[in-house]
Amino acid sequence: MSAPAEQLAAPDPVSRLAARLGRRYRDRITAAVTLPPRPARTAPLPGGLDRRLEAALAARGIRALYSHQAEAWAHVAAGRHVVVATPTASGKSLCYHLPVLQAVLGGGARALYLFPTKALAQDQVAELLALDEAGGLGVRADTFDGDTPGDARRAIRTRADIVVTNPDMLHQGILPHHTRWARLFEGLRYVVVDELHVYRGVFGSHVANVLRRLRRIARFYGAEPVFILCSATIGNPRELAERLVGAPVEAVTESGAPAGARHLLLWNPPVVNPDLGIRASARSQSTRIARAAVRAGLRTIVFARTRLMVEILTRYLKDVFDRDPRRPPRVAGYRGGYLPTARRATERALREGAVHCVVATSALELGVDIGGLDVAVLNGYPGSVAAAWQRLGRAGRRGRPALGVLVAGSDLLDQYVIRHPEFFLEASPERARIDPDQLLILLDHVRCAAFELPFRDGERFGGVDVGELLAYLEAQGVLYREGGRWHWIADSYPANSVSLRSVAEGNFVVVDESADGGRVIAEVDYASAPVTLYEGAIYLVQARPYQVERLDWTGRKAYVRPTRADYYTEAIDYARLRILDRCAAARWGAAVAAHGEVHLVRRVAGYKKIRYYSHENVGYGEVRLPDQEMHTTAAWWQLDPEALERAFASRDEALDGFLGAAYALHHVAALHLMAEPRDLGRAVGDGEAGWCSVVGADGRGGIRGADGSALEAGALARFRPTVFLYDAYPGGIGLSEPLYEARAQVVAGALALVRECACRAGCPACVGPVLAGDEAGVRTPRAAALRVLELLAGDGP
């Protein structure tokens, strides 16, 4: 229910802060919502529960189940696979701990727990051990991951009742060596898959195939485990679970857990330049809110969309609260790339209350135990309703009142959500998409499965007839068919060459050369390295700046030294696409739309130096790194050259229009598909990788040739710009075809959005940032983008 700011006042400090912000910044708040406290709905403990387990629950203060826990128990007891999709901190872990412990105490049963991160796995082992100690259960549970010592690994294989691991370790460390795990597979009663909503896109498609291999091996040992899956609120938990497991799954979606009062503010920064549609930065507003929360004694988390923004916000908050180096820090950053020991230390400090404010990426979106938080600030819309609610849910755990503030950035999607609060408050969470039968992914896992167990003639893999793939692998010399079976004969170890999460193997380590002998201070994944670790980059760790002196690309090492630079750096990159195959195409008027397969080349061309606080550009630098290549799928739009000549006075003006149209189409497509913008990439080029249009260091559009050199649009022999929206994952995850099918709605939505924008020349809420000076009418990207979109819609001249 909605409530005016003056009605938010209440005795607790969270509500007082919400009321104070509502009064003081009334003009910036587009919606103020209060969700009332929700009482618990409970059910008695199940009949026949082992007395030792009942005593362990009582020792933890649990004498009844929430209704969703009881519903999950009933499904599992009946041997049905189940997915539990309820809000953060609703007690989902008991939905699987209870049946698993009951089965283990009954004798002979084993269970496998899968978590997407090591931190979550360690959390769950700690919870299991606490239950074990409380009731003297004698259950043996331990983590099996890359950090597990060799002697412990042997003990876990032979004695553990519950093995807690991650999909990567299951894929590379357990399934290929299943004979060593015979005891686990022979008694495998339950498989737990937590944080289900993470298994989407290419990662989810890989994990679905890993689970196909798991079920295949379990059947070989005579086991048919029940799957218990848990998820944050998403739009299709049953569908996603069934795609992952490959079998019917029951869904439990109504939570019986209690919840404290929750205040939500949607916050739009004030406009500072109406003509250009420029608003005060989201980071300035987020730090303002966080400062107020910490000064009110409230424990606060600030979510940022990028690792760089985590460091910038951490710097700004440390400048306020951590000026005295003799006192323990009150502010900490938390993101991927920090060493595990540093992340665990921050988690511990949060649980103990030593850190009052943490700035994090989605790394803390998942259910790592960080204690009770009071305030969650989102620095920018994370790209999906589901992700936003998941992050807001990190505050107010254990029934405490909570305040969540969504601070909008200037870009199109943020402004749409903040100006249409009903979309955010009423939209059903997005659907998670996977495509386990995508040919390249499927082939990888058929290879792995054949190594683990021979295929029989006619055997299906996850319901797929893989006869042609087996014949292909025989032709490649890795399989041999004899007596109706396909045997692995190669010396290679296929799982070792298949990454579940990225295109290429090998993280980069960041080495501080100023320390004696060099000291590793962080690690960076392969995909992020080109835009993070180029020579001259400023790399930040807990807001402390280091300059990259040299990058050993082959050895996967970046050598850095501490610096006192008053600026940070941002990479400038662009993508060239070549159309490989058109799967379908449609023409109307001067416009053509199509979808199919493309080859993408991504290049980091340079970087900008941006001063703290003022955020002015204070310099540029060049970057020379290997190109990153990818085969994926895309939808694209083109216009006939004759129509362009009639509509535009120059090719430069047409390029401005295509860049602005691509910006609008990209964000409208993400909304239409209920996908996150990062799942789609966008590019403007000629479709043959001969040239691509880029936004340069000066903010203006330009053209780069295949060799990276600058070109003049007027000098091109053939000029037919193409707007690409491509799947940002190798091989694609199935977004391009539905985008092509919805091409008319997407173009119409982008056209309406640009037409209705109140800016003059263009702005981040319609066609992207526009430079000061363009509003004089010399170059007006908004008008040019309107003409392109009108032609694509068939409304133009």
What confidence score (pLDDT) does residue 355 get? 93
- The more confident residue out of 161 and 430 is 161
CA distance linking residue 253 with residue 397, whole number of Å: 19
Listed residue (778, 786, 720, 782) closest to 748, CA to CA: 786
Q: Which of 5-9, 209-213, 361-365, 610-614 has the highest mean predicted lDDT (pLDDT)? A: 209-213
Which of 212-226, 490-504, 663-677 has the lowest average pLDDT? Answer: 490-504
Residue 675 is predicted with a pLDDT of 73
What is the chain's mean pLDDT, rounded?
88
Q: Of 118 and 746, which is predicted with more confidence?
A: 746
- pLDDT level of residue 779 (50, 70, 90 thresholds): low
Strand order in the sheet with 402-407: 29-35, 262-267, 402-407, 375-379, 300-304, 357-360, 331-334
pLDDT band of 520, cuts 50, 70, 90: very high
Structure confidence at residue 434 (pLDDT)? 84
The closest alpha carbon to 544, from 570, 521, 518, 571, belongs to 521
The confidence score (pLDDT) of residue 193 equals 96
Mean pLDDT on 254-264: 91
pTM for this prediction: 0.82
Q: Is 1's pLDDT higher than 50? A: no
Phi and psi at 625, nearest 5°, equal -135, 160
CB 73, CB 96: distance < 8 Å? no
User: At residue 503, does pLDDT exceed 50?
Assistant: no
**Residue 777: per-residue pLDDT:** 45
435 in Cβ contact with 464 (< 8 Å)? no
What percentage of the chain carries pLDDT values higher than 70? 94
Chain segment 443-478, per-residue pLDDT in tens: 999 999 999 999 999 999 998 999 999 999 999 999
- For residues 324-333, one letter each, b for 16 or more C-beta atoms within 10 angstroms of the residue's C-beta and e for the rest, the string is eeeeebbbbb
Which pLDDT score, from 0 to 100, does residue 413 have?
87
User: How would DSSP label each residue in 718-769?
Assistant: ----EEEEEESSTT--S-HHHHHHTHHHHHHHHHHHHHH---SS--TTTT--
Q: Would you say residue 25 has pLDDT above 80?
A: yes
How far is C-alpha 38 from the geometric centre of its chain's CA atoms? 30
Amino acid code (one letter) for 291: R
Least confident of 171-185, 191-205, 637-651, 727-741: 727-741
Residue 219 or 606, more confident: 219
pLDDT band of 3, cuts 50, 70, 90: very low
> Residues 459-495, buried b or exposed e (16+ Cβ, 10 A)?
bebbeeebeebbeebeeeebbeeeeeebbbeeeeebb
What's 600-655 look like in SS3? EEEEEEEEEEEECCCCCEEEEEECCCCCEEEEEEEEEEEECHHHHHHHCCCHHHHH
* 3-state SS, residue 404: strand
3-state secondary structure of 408: coil
Rounded CA separation 333/311 (Å): 7
pLDDT band at 208 (very low <50, low <70, confident <90, very high): very high
The CA distance from 120 to 114, in Å, is 9
Q: Count of CB atoms within 10 A of residue 303's CB?
A: 30
pLDDT digits (tens, 9 = 90+) for 544-594: 999 999 999 989 999 999 999 999 999 988 888 999 999 999 998 899 999
Which range is least confidently modeled, 117-126, 166-175, 331-340, 480-489? Answer: 117-126
Share of the chain above pLDDT 90, in %: 56
> Looking at residues 638-651, what average pLDDT do you find?
90
Please identify which residue in the block is written with the tokens 């409304």.
795
158 has pLDDT over 60: yes
Question: Does 776 have pLDDT greater than 50?
Answer: no
**pLDDT higher than 60, residue 774:** no
The confidence score (pLDDT) of residue 89 equals: 76
Work out the average pLDDT over 94-117.
93
Mean pLDDT of 125-132: 86
Pairs from 136-143 (Cβ < 8 Å, separation ≥ 24): 136/52, 136/56, 137/52, 137/53, 137/56, 137/101, 137/105, 139/101, 139/104, 139/105, 143/118
pLDDT reading at 489 higher than 60 = yes
Distance between CA 393 and CA 89 in Å, rounded? 8
Between these two residues, 393 and 510, which has the higher pLDDT value? 510
CA distance 116 to 468: 32
Give residue 505's pLDDT band: very low, low, confident or very high (50, 70, 90): low
pLDDT of residue 2: 43
What does the alpha-carbon distance between residue 490 and residue 471 come to, in Å, rounded to a whole number?
15
Tokens found for residue 141: 């549970």
| The token pair that represents 72 in the structure block | 């999950």
